[in-house]
Amino acid sequence: MNHRTLGRTGIQVSPLCLGTMMLGAWGNTDHDECERIVGTALDAGVNFIDTADVYAFGESETIVGRAVKGRRDEVVLATKFHNAMDDSPNRRGNSRRWIMRAVEDSLRRLDTDWIDLYQVHRPDPRTDIDETLGALSDLVRQGKVRAIGTSSFPAEELVEAQWVAERRNRERFSTEQPSYSILARHAEAAVLPVAERYDLGVMVWSPLNGGWLTGKYRRDAPLPTGSRASRNGDHFDFKAEEIRSRKLDVTERLAVLADEAGITMIQLALGFVLSHRAVTSAVIGPRTLEQLTSQLGADEVRLSPDVLDAIDELVPPGTSISPADVGYAPPAVTEAALRRR
């Protein structure tokens, strides 16, 4: 597996990054199989693993820590903080108080002395970005964190963070992790160009759009047993008929396109996101070993200009079929009080 440089860090990572949200109570509760998934990915040349404290509320980090034990030096290990870990108002967000506690919790669960990439899972409008960068800079200087990054940050907040880091002598964010897939191309409009301008490594999440781009969902067919949509239909657009119908139309045409190109739908989807010049890695999130093996090797697929042009006709660049796929809506949009005098 060829490696790519993660932004300006100098760290070499595989084009496929193993996402672990499905390891544990949110997906696969068999810890032994979960550890086999991690081991199989490492044996196949994947050296990049992404998790988060909130995934099954720490269970995923614990599984990953056990799975990489004895192989820690060969793994580029990334985790995230921000989301609420319980009902306490101070065990969440991007404050110094929480960051300093959250990192120690993650280090303990991961059973490691350092985190290669520590990411802010979402923006926190209540916390000054300088407060967040100051705490993260201290962690880098302490050796607990090697590099810092963001996830689902709007382009303007990425620019602001770079500005603050430069003028206040803070560590700069080195990566961004946006949602990006054939069905969700919003990042192309601003986030990916900004990432390229500031030499940020980009690891895209949900490149298969929650399973839509595997070809498993069919019109007038029951939801596959165990699929994400069967477990959480509201989250995966199955309650929004217009969006569901549009995604079915597009995926049916993508299946034909993949067949004509002699590749699988999964290879088409992963090959698409990895073809973007700003993208470093695609985060794959298998729940089973079978799902993992169906995705391994997709980084070797090279889509022709004709195939990419055909995708552009189905879903225009910079657009998304479902607004929910963006991953973050600012409070100015979601909270009515911020729009009232």
Just list the catalytic residues. Answer: 55
* Cβ atoms of residues 249 and 239 within 8 Å: no
Residue 171 · residue 165 · CB < 8 Å: yes
Residues 209, 181: contact at Cβ < 8 Å? yes
Burial label for 106, CB within 10 Å (0-12, 13-18, 19+), is buried
Residue 307, SS3 per DSSP: helix
Q: Which residues pair with 76 in a beta bridge?
A: 48
If one counts every other C-beta atom within 10 angstroms of the C-beta of residue 188, the result is 18
Taking the C-alpha atoms of residue 261 and residue 321, their distance in angstroms, rounded to an integer, is 24
- Neighbouring C-alpha atoms within 13 Å toward the C-beta of 279: 25
Residue 339 is classified by DSSP as: G
Point out which residues pair with 79 in neighbouring strands: 118
Identity of the amino acid at 251: T
Of residues 56, 13, 58, 64, the one with CA closest to residue 35: 64
Q: DSSP 3-state assignment of 50?
A: strand
Q: What is the CB-side half-sphere exposure of residue 2 using CA atoms within 13 A?
A: 7
CA atoms within 13 A on the CB side of 331: 8
Q: Are 1 and 15 in contact (CB under 8 A)?
A: yes
Distance CA 251, CA 230 (A): 18
Question: In 3-state terms, what secondary structure has residue 64?
Answer: helix
